[in-house]
Structure 1
């Protein structure tokens, strides 16, 4: 029985190998066609498990299947974003800056401010005055003159909170649809985005993170800038009799309908009238990652899937080119198991005339 079990385990662990690549080939009636003329690619060996097709057009080129990086040096760039503001009354809190000598040290506000930052808020004026996002009709703005060859560029939203007792409550700003785009267009038509809201890599750098933390945050769709909370003696947190300090409050009882599984009993700290952090002057910045304005990574060119393992056999593929040129149409066919793959590549040069 032991011997049988060992043999069974050995057979179960054996890799499933593919014996041979598929006997696969592709042909066309001609190598020259006109724009808009349908081409029939005749397929032999369409029983292959998987078949994919690269037309040879930009972003569909087999030669760039591992990735495509395009030089945009000296092409210039534009920048755009939307912004809105709500709550509070404090004025002049937000500004927009750039740097080409920041060293990427986000560990403290002092480290960030050690770089040379230039205020370019006026280029994007007027900023929002309400919760309605300022429309993109005022964007994009040309930033070609800000680029220093061979150096990345950083952008930052600077937010300053003055004492709120005398300057009004802090306002809450939202930044979204941030985008840096090359003025060079792919094939003369497609916009090349260098950095957007998702990959601009904004980080919050807070001056008083420990004692008067800003209520700022960064998500994949928005940067929120909001000052520290204005602390006064009449706030609920400074009332020792507030229910949140009572261990028997229903929110802490799993058997009560009012139970909140994320609620934690806070530690009571009395109000300190002499604390300089009740209503300080403070600032925090949302600083981007280094943005390279000399090249853009477009990622790998992608194929079109023609057949999967469970798909019917394929004897032809039809395709139409919409622009003149010479294209290398490539078909990749493979036989596959969970452990192995054997593939064959077939290429046909197609000339498309006007």
Structure 2
């Protein structure tokens, strides 16, 4: 019993010891100096380090996207800057005309629940600003126009201060029995850019194909007249509903898809298709309102802020970790002239606590 008692006491002491926070004794005694303050482009700049035994050391060079001042990100006012919009489009299949329109709104309330809901907003047709394709070859982003006439991508006039911009692609499907099969349109290379150049080299992208948040608004998404459209991060595909008529394979009970002996349904057969689902045969219903309706659906973007944009945080270069040897010097080469505010952050750290110091030094780089 006595042995058991001592074991319990030892266990309790160990538990108390383990639950105690691991404190950092002090912040690093850390300093950075330069032999001189001016260097030329391409020179090796040597930062002399005192206290390089710190657990961690990070380095902000002061260049664009590597600035300590923006370690939490930045917000840029773009309200006075011009806007451009880019897109490519192509079309294939079918025969219908005037199916696709490019629209914009500044008063849409973000209700994507139905076509009727989005139509409560004011939508303006701007299709004429971009040439629409006539075949499967994508129309380039910039039309082949003289420079003096190349205004097709400028959408600055669409801006309303304090209002976000929504872009919509409206797709109309007419009766396919009377007007031919609906066409399949593709939209890619979409981008809205501000002419503000925060990095001095390129416009700020406010939205692109991957992050514009396009979604399909289709009132028939749960019935047999649902559109065949879809959105991915690289493309919008717009296509009308399936034209249902007695000649379709799905209405032929003798079609191989309804044969339970079809090899694609047999896991033991080389022709097995793991994604194949044996369908239930439903005969054609000539009275269904979903066979060949005239309908419309849209692909609508998220709200695009045209007044300001938040840029992701600037991140440092990690030049020393806990298990590295103490650092006495850090070498860096600048490729662009300028005056740079360089920042080093040195930290001592445990799992529970961090104590750090920030050291700033200015270096001038000449051509």
Q: Distance in 1 between matches of 2:299 and 2:226?
A: 14
Question: What's 1:315 paired with?
Answer: 328
Residue of structure 2 aligned with 1:210, choices 222, 246, 251: 222
Tell me the equivalent position of 2:309: 296
Q: 1:249 to 1:71 in 2, by over 3 A?
A: same
Match of 2:343 among 327, 330, 333: 330
CA 1:338–1:281: 2 relative to 1, 3 Å: same
Deviations 1:63-122 (A, max 9, x none): 110111111111110000111111222222111011111111000001111211111111
Cα distance, 1:18 vs. partner?
Answer: 4.2
Superposed, 1:1-354 pairs within 5 Å as: 3=8, 17-33=23-39, 37-125=43-131, 127-138=132-143, 141-211=153-223, 212-322=225-335, 325-352=338-365
2:248 and 2:266 map into 1 onto residues whose CA distance is 25
Secondary structure, counterpart of 1:184 in structure 2: coil
Q: Which runs of 5 or more residues in structure 1 are unaligned?
A: none
TM-score, structure 2 normalization: 0.87
Q: 3-state DSSP class of the match of 1:251?
A: helix
Choose 184-193 or 243-252, whichever is displaced more.
243-252
Report the Cα offset of residue 286 of structure 1: 0.4
Cα deviations by residue, 1:192-228 (Å, 9 ceiling, x for unpaired): 1111111111010113223301001111111110110
2:111 and 2:117 in contact (8 A); partners too: yes
Is contact 2:91-2:135 (8 Å) kept?
yes
CA distance in 2 between partners of 1:104 and 1:281 (Å)? 25
Residue 76 of structure 2: SS of its match in structure 1? Answer: strand
Contact kept in structure 2, 1:69 and 1:299, CA below 8 Å: no
Range 177-186 or range 9-18, more displaced: 9-18
What is the CA distance between 1:261 and its match in structure 2? 2.8
Quote the residue 2:146 is aligned against. Answer: none
